[in-house]
Amino acid sequence: MAKILAIGNAVLDTIFSVEQHPKEDQEMRALSKTHQIGGNVNNTLYVLNQLGHATSICTTAATDSESKQLISGMQDHGIDCTHIQKFIQGSTPNSIVTLNAHNGSRTIVHYRDLPEVSFEFFAKIEIENFDWLHFEGRNIENLQGMLNISKTFLDKQPISLEVEKPRENIEALLPLANLVIFSHHYAIAKQFTDAVQLLEAMSQLAPNSNLVCTWGAKGVWLKAINNSIEHIPAIPVNPVIDTLGAGDTFNAGLIHQLLNGNSLSEACKFANQLAAQKIQKRGLDDILNVKAENRAIANIKKLSKAKATVIDVGSTGSIILILHENTVRAYENNCPHQNVPLNEAYKIDVNPFENTLKCSVHDAFFNIADGECIDGPCWGEHLTPIAIRTDEQGDIYLA
């Protein structure tokens, strides 16, 4: 087990699962809504914790109520929060994420009203007590000083730097890191046509650093010190459930393997596999195990507009599937009146002419289109929607 300190951003994510990303000026109903803690280094540390390491974060936090939720969430993930610089002014960083249930892609809108970690705060941390330091490539004003003192005071401990976005003068910091991880977003923004072109250019700036560039479905390219560029293809995944945090998962796998003494090539192969596992499931919990989210729960050809199909999905309970206007509606099989299954007493009655479902226990009627109770004891309340996706063969999966 290694002690790892990561320096970067910590965020509260609100994730809306949607059938497709909305167009401008379009109104859309989400399939589901979840909250989780996020931020690049935050995610990386959570995965590293699951890989058996002791993790600590150096970040900033506000003093609002959301800050308590964020810090509590990090601690629940096993991340040490001793090195958090708090500010009275400002608010907890937030991201709104739309997750396409059809292909797992995500679009992020981020809001930040909080200062970054100061050089003076970082300088007080006893960094020599850690086995690895990982920096997010942001906060350039203070990052150079942090990297400089890390390079000065650390004899054997590696330093990694994630370069995800093009920031002014970040290229000058590359030689200060033992490992630099580039994203394809950075490469494209800097007008490189591919990862090979990027690594060739960056190796001129940082000849004594190991360099890695991830490129989504095309795989990963790497250049170890004094070695030629190598390509590792991406692992095909079908279906893709959730790409949010895939890059952060890759970074964790890479650091983990290098700490274990493996070569850069072997470390990238492991990280590639771990990232492939991640995109087959929602979130980062239990990242080492792929859950049954990639198992079809039904096929659209077996569904009807005149009958509700109840599917047992294990620990989640059961869900209701029904056709509506040539699409599938999915709801948790739970009446909001007294939290009992809609088919507790008898089958779920469906009126295909009025497009309603009826609870067999309380005679509550729900719109099939949106799950709203339009008559009965829970009038105005809604069935809980379940995010699903349907592939080209009509197989239906939990999203």
For residue 384, the 8-state DSSP code is P
Q: How far apart are the first and last CA of the chain?
A: 34
CA-to-CA dists, residue 174 to 181, 362, 364, angstroms: 10, 65, 63
Instruction: Report the chain's mean pLDDT, rounded to a whole number.
Output: 92
Contact (CB, 8 A) for 198 and 213: yes
- Is residue 225 classed as helix, strand or coil in its secondary structure? coil
Q: What residues have CB less than 8 Å from 221, skipping those under 6 apart? A: 195, 196, 198, 199, 212, 213, 215, 229, 230, 231, 232
Can you read off the two tokens belonging to residue 237?
């995944």
Pairing state between β 132-136 and 159-163 = parallel
Q: Is the pLDDT at 294 greater than 70, yes or no?
A: no
pLDDT one-digit tens code per residue, 262-292: 999 999 999 999 999 999 888 899 888 765 4
Q: Is the pLDDT at 84 greater than 50, yes or no?
A: yes
CATH of 295-398, one of 1.20.1250.30, 3.30.930.10, 2.102.10.10, 3.30.70.360: 2.102.10.10
Q: How confident is the model at residue 165 (pLDDT cuts 50, 70, 90)?
A: very high
Query: Where does residue 29 rank: exposed (0-12), middle (13-18), buried (19+ CB within 10 A)?
Result: exposed
In this prediction the pTM is 0.75
Three-state SS for 21-87 is CCCCCCCCCCCEEEEEEECHHHHHHHHHHHCCCEEEEEEEECCCHHHHHHHHHHHHCCEEEEEEEEC
Q: Is the pLDDT at 22 greater than 50, yes or no?
A: yes
pLDDT one-digit tens code per residue, 212-238: 999 998 999 999 999 999 999 998 887
Can you read off the two tokens belonging to residue 152?
């000065």
Contact (CB, 8 A) for 192 and 185: no
Mean pLDDT to the nearest integer, 240-261? 93
Lowest mean pLDDT across 11-25, 216-230, 248-262: 11-25
**CA separation for the pair 297, 280 (Å, rounded):** 15
User: What is the reported pLDDT for 256?
Assistant: 95
Q: Is the pLDDT at 247 greater than 70, yes or no?
A: yes
Domain boundaries, the chain: 3-278, 295-398
Task: Give the class (CATH, top level) of 3-278.
Answer: alpha beta
Highest-pLDDT range among 66-70, 108-112, 239-243, 290-294: 66-70
Mean pLDDT to the nearest integer, 318-344? 90
User: What is the reported pLDDT for 292?
Assistant: 46
